[in-house]
Amino acid sequence: MIPAIFTSKTTRGLTILYASTAMAGLGWSMVLPIIPQFQGEFNVSTGWAVQVVTGFGLGRFFATPIAGFVVDRFGSRVALIGGPVLAGVGAVVSAMTPWFALVVAAAFLVGAGESLWAFGREIAGIDLVRPDQRGRLLSGFHGVHTAGLAIGPLVGGIIADTVGLRVVFVAFAVESFAAVSLGMLVANSRRQTSTTQPAAPESGTANRSPLQWWRSLKGLFFQIDPKLRATYVALVFATFASFLFRQGGFQSMLPIFADEVLGLSATKIGVLFSIAGVIVLGFILPVGFILDKVGRKWATVPSTALPGVAFLLVPFADSFATLLPLVVVMGVANGLSLGSLAASTYDVVPASVRGRLQALRRTIADLGAIGGPAVGGLLAEFYGPAVPFIVFAPILLLAGLALAFGAKETLVKNPKEAPVET
């Protein structure tokens, strides 16, 4: 994935991280096509069924600040082990409980585990490559994760249609616990220290708790180069919109729309997700080249704006054939988003506070992951499954404009010009 000459230690590390990334994508994505079946299995409404995605988003939201603190303070290994453990426990609970409220609570654990897991992978990987290779590294991570997302829905749909939806959670638990052993094999990330005098709120905070760290958000933000602070804000908003697109529209409302409006089976819904995933896989190498050789914004802007256009057109789809081209557009957008926002943010934030500032971006963005399914479910309940797409589309388009005209290009094409990270 990264066309550079690596030591054997680096090769081993990246191989393990990519394998762990694929497993993370596979597990949760198996659940997506069975969301409509929750209505019959647990006797719940459409609006309540999609709240399993809200639970996942809430877990990510509350775990992300802690994950940022953990990787800055203790390194990546704790996150790489603890993340899949939480996900596996959530899957076991979902497989056994007769109450849907516990399924939503278990999704909270899965979301928390995913947040820890993702931070551990990124920080461990960032320490293995040069700054001018970040785009390819992170696009590779996101691409391999999408490989799991491409396979998972199809596997989950087939399992649910042939064996039962409970078995989907059993399969999820098995692969999550298998990933724990991979986390034990990765070298712990090195501790980063600031090369400049920290802002006043950060001084003397070596032993602060996670809560106290987040009381110093203003100090963290002002460690960013003043010329790049507006870019960081635009990246935060774009990530919010991206999470709204994926969790609020693509993962939660699209299956409901396909089931209730178009009457598609779980297997066909899984095929749609898998087609989108295969498209994303085709972008792994091209988007890495774009990010590292052409420019970050060439990927971030269209990956944010294109879903807005697709969402505006979803209500006009009336069959599998007419929905498919829009899913393809969403797949292209997901392909262009592979690591682009994360790579741009790592370009902007100082190395000594990278975990916490990345966590701040994702915590705010997770409001989209939480609010998207929650608001989308309510809109679908009262106005129909097509309405959420119309409501979400302008937010995505606005985020694309913010990146295009309010953010700077952060790619440093000459590695010698990049700031030294210690």
For the stretch 167-213, pLDDT in tens is: 888 888 888 888 887 777 776 665 555 444 444 344 444 445 555 55
What is the secondary structure of 97-162 as a DSSP string?
Answer: -S-HHHHHHHHHHHHHHHHHHHHHHHHHHHTTS-GGGHHHHHHHHHHHHHHHHHHHHHHHHHHHHH
Fill in the amino acid letter for 22.
A
pLDDT value, residue 239: 92
Answer yes or no: is pLDDT of 227 > 80. Answer: yes
Residue pLDDT, tens place only, 134-148: 777 887 787 787 777
Which residue in 154, 117, 150, 411 sits closest to 287, CA to CA?
411
Task: Decide: 189 and 76 in contact? Cβ < 8 Å.
Answer: yes
Answer yes or no: is pLDDT of 276 > 90. Answer: no
Task: Decide: 261 and 420 in contact? Cβ < 8 Å.
Answer: no
Most confident segment among 79-93, 186-200, 395-409? 395-409
pLDDT value, residue 368: 79
Q: What is the pTM of this model?
A: 0.68
Average pLDDT over residues 262-266: 82
Task: Decide: 302 and 333 in contact? Cβ < 8 Å.
Answer: yes
Q: For the ranges 46-55, 98-107, 310-319, 381-390, which has the lowest average pLDDT?
A: 46-55
Number of C-alpha atoms within 13 angstroms, CB side, residue 125? 31
Average pLDDT over residues 250-275: 84
Considering Cα of 62, then 28, then 246, then 381, what sign does the dihedral take? negative
pLDDT value, residue 190: 58
Q: In CATH, which superfamily holds the domain spanning 12-187+215-412?
A: MFS general substrate transporter like domains (1.20.1250.20)
pLDDT value, residue 237: 93
pLDDT value, residue 211: 54
Confidence of residue 243 (pLDDT cuts 50, 70, 90): confident
Average pLDDT over residues 272-299: 84
Residue pLDDT, tens place only, 317-336: 988 889 999 999 999 998 88
pLDDT value, residue 418: 46
pLDDT value, residue 419: 41
pLDDT value, residue 212: 57
**Domain locations in the chain as residue ranges:** 12-187+215-412
Answer yes or no: is pLDDT of 236 > 60. Answer: yes
Answer yes or no: is pLDDT of 165 > 50. Answer: yes
